[in-house]
Structure 1
């Protein structure tokens, strides 16, 4: 998140990173009892827990067997007066399911820009194991190099950032933990971890905690949005969420 830190401090505005979220009830389905996935769609600061308003996404879907399928029946809920959505999806057969959303751009006056975080997560059903490294075909997307499920706490996650179908070099990737346990960071600098992509658009990060981790690659989009008579830049985020677990 490229920000003018001094201006934000003077305005009393939080400088924490924004993340689109698509988080299912589990990243793997091993039996029929787990086959009814509950999917949550949010726009938030995941470590601090602060919410922003999420309008009904322009597109919410699942990519499986090389095809996109719309997710219907999104239910709007409120948290601290901010909207988010949930949906149910019944997994009926083995496969690798990539759930995604393309939200309506969010205007952030503190940063003088719009934010559009195209977000996805990957679920493996019944040990199918193939296709997790296939792109959905989104304008901005993280394609995993590490299998993005069945991960342990401490595993290294690697991926490639794509923008308009090409690897995005020298792009900032922000990383945050979805903090549902009330953990406190040692300092503000610890809240959002930061890595950069290399010349091939690749990045890696080792995840030290059990739970959900978000990776947001931030790209200056080639389109602007007109708002109240002025054109604003768009921060296009390629976001992926992965889950880590511990041995029982």
Structure 2
């Protein structure tokens, strides 16, 4: 994996945001499973700062599901508690019995963040394709909030463009802000300024955003909106940040 270097054109098009963004994470050991790879996928779930590789506590999810060929199954009872980035997370080894696209989604417990004086709920998704069949890659799950891919969320080369539409309650969110961050697992990536750890792109009037990943690896996209409800904390009603998160893998270019 090559070190991330942001060229001046990309940097000029992206508005930087402060570091230490939170991300719900579902990371498979392989987003594209072939017959030679075996018959299952290993998943790791966490709530973390992916670039800094700093974990936070992920409580038992409200729901953890897989959707395949239009059928959704809750796998919450199959999760195994694990230490992820030195904090509480989960793992799951899931059998892939048929070809096609498997969409894994997680709704976590609300996370109280004193620094933001708000609760955080990140509805998180990732996509795995099995045995050369990419059918179903654009499936919308109907989550409270989600990023629906307009670009196939696997089989991408580094520098390819990824597009998605941000939705809240099933409707596009005009001009939504989408935070983008690299999962710095074993990559040793560095940045010249911490403002470049988390980047921000803005969706258009139809809720569609575009990003070109400067390096191979896992990239997280989080569209943040404030919920239309509050939750109590120490006797006071507090805002709830709803995050629509999708993780997308870009492959290292092996051509000339």
Q: Could you state the TM-score of these two structures normalised by the residue count of structure 2?
A: 0.88
SS at match of 1:233: strand
Q: Distance in 2 between matches of 1:131 and 1:80?
A: 32
Give, in angstroms, the shift of residue 24 of structure 1.
0.7
Give, in angstroms, the shift of residue 127 of structure 1.
2.0
Residues 94-243 of structure 1 aligned to structure 2 (within 5 Å):
94-180=99-185, 181-243=187-249
> What CA deviation, in whole Å up to 9, does each residue of 1:22-58 have, x standing for no partner?
1111111111533211101110010011111100110
2:47 is aligned to 43
Unaligned runs of 5+ in 1: 1-13
Q: Distance in 1 between matches of 2:191 and 2:253?
A: 25
Give, in angstroms, the shift of residue 80 of structure 1.
6.0
Give, in angstroms, the shift of residue 190 of structure 1.
0.8
Q: Distance in 2 between matches of 1:203 and 1:79?
A: 30
Q: Distance in 2 between matches of 1:193 and 1:80?
A: 22
Unaligned runs of 5+ in 2: 1-17
**Cα RMSD (Å) of the superposition?**
1.3
- Check whether the contact 2:158–2:253 (CA below 8 A) recurs between aligned residues: no
Q: Could you state the TM-score of these two structures normalised by the residue count of structure 1?
A: 0.91
* Higher RCO by CA contacts (8 Å cutoff, separation 6 or greater): 2
